[in-house]
Amino acid sequence: MAEEVYRPGLEGVIATETAISFLDVEREEIVVRGYNLLDLARERTYVDVVGLLIDGRLPDDQERAVLERRLLAAAEVPAQIWEILRLLPPRMHAMDRLRTAISTLGGFDPGVERVDPEQDRESGLRIVAQAATIVANLVRVREGQQPLAPDPSRSFPANFLWMITGRDGSPAEVRVFDQALIAYSEHELPNSTFAARVIASTLADVYGALTGAVASLKGPLHGGANEAVMAMLLEAGDEEGIERWIRERLARKERIMGFGHRVYMRRMDPRAQLLKETLTRLVAERGDAEGQKLLRMCERAERLMHAEKGLYPNLDYYAAPVFYVLGIPIELYTPIFFAARTAGLVAHVVEQHAHNRLFRPRVRYTGPRGLKPA
């Protein structure tokens, strides 16, 4: 028998091979199909990254236009999805309503039972398109309003932001939102992607795999952190407030959301740096006093956490104020993380089905033995 190795939380364990992405912590680079994710965020659009992740290479201008039209044409959601969402208790968490909707979407895809990489790509693009429409309308539908239908005359990010806020973002706002989508699009093997691959490895379909990923992302140790960060900033109120707020929690040995990362450990998440720069530019351009205050609070807390705990911000930390200044309702922050991540998740399901090996690890048993039932 092979030597028994046990790493709690699978820390540092290589769980799969992938050609999709890799966190090169030493070089502070997030490699996505050979490109640096930050270069993609600075030079390309989210739709380009969807093409790169799901089709395997960056589209040229013409291919991007075709893909963007295809996504917008597929973005309309079956009316039954809205009816089902209306039947759910209004107090139900937005991620739980989203999980129900993603699961139900599978029933409207004629290809759902055909599990192979080609069908996964086809279904996956539908999910990328429809997840944005569902996420954008979660609050509206909970409040009993009519959902906003996607408008294919806008770009993908402009339409997504417009469906969320009900108003047209400026070109600068749409660009910031697009960059946030890219920042969230793919990140190697976090809990949600691992969950999706584990599910896909039974040859379950892409809808099942992504439904599991929504459930994983809800947790505050993962995607739920962006909403917790915003709650912290609003509760703390100002720069002195945030310092007090954090010191009190650290004294009680509590975790501060938006700091720390299993892989980056004691380094800055490059995506957090990107969104910090983006936020700095946006609030300066707009002369946004509220945004500038939030930025100062974030910087103060960042210095404090570094001095006290040696910890750095992760993506969720700066995504929260970025979404806030864009006028996005807080309960949509984690659902937007999922909508953006659909591209990466679909790529992983495609890859899992193309080179499948069932995930079935073993345990180190610590319970009793030899008990007699009678």
Q: Which residues bind ligand ACO (CB under 6 A)?
A: 221-223, 225, 255-262, 309, 311, 314-316
Residues in the chain: 374
Nearer to ligand ACO, 293 or 306 (CB): 306
In whole angstroms, the minimum distance from the beta carbon of 279 to ligand ACO comes to 16
In whole angstroms, the minimum distance from the beta carbon of 8 to ligand ACO comes to 9
Please confirm, yes or no, whether 261 is among the known catalytic residues.
yes
The values of phi and psi at residue 120, to 5°, are: -60, -40
In whole angstroms, the minimum distance from the beta carbon of 99 to ligand ACO comes to 17
Q: In what order do the strands lie in the sheet with 35-36?
A: 21-24, 29-32, 35-36
User: Which of the residues 109, 316, 348, 353 is marked catalytic?
Assistant: 316
Please confirm, yes or no, whether 316 is among the known catalytic residues.
yes
Nearer to ligand ACO, 114 or 262 (CB): 262
In whole angstroms, the minimum distance from the beta carbon of 316 to ligand ACO comes to 5
Give percent helix, percent strand, percent coil of the chain, each to the nearest 5.
Answer: 60, 5, 35
Nearer to ligand ACO, 77 or 311 (CB): 311
Q: Is 75 left (phi over 0), alpha (psi -120 to 50) or beta?
A: alpha
CA distance 246 to 208: 39
In whole angstroms, the minimum distance from the beta carbon of 374 to ligand ACO comes to 43
CA distance 342 to 321: 22
CA distance 334 to 314: 14
CA distance 126 to 234: 36
- Sorted by sequence, the CB contacts under 8 Å of residue 344 that are 6+ apart come out as 20, 21, 53, 185, 186, 187, 193
Which residue sits closest to ligand ACO, CB atoms considered?
260
Nearer to ligand ACO, 24 or 60 (CB): 24
User: Which of the residues 261, 269, 348, 353 is marked catalytic?
Assistant: 261
What separation in angstroms does the CA of 189 have from each of 28, 88, 104? 16, 32, 25
Q: Is 4 left (phi over 0), alpha (psi -120 to 50) or beta?
A: beta
In whole angstroms, the minimum distance from the beta carbon of 245 to ligand ACO comes to 13
Nearer to ligand ACO, 64 or 218 (CB): 218
Nearer to ligand ACO, 222 or 293 (CB): 222
- Sorted by sequence, the CB contacts under 8 Å of residue 261 that are 6+ apart come out as 269, 312, 314
The catalytic residues are 261, 316
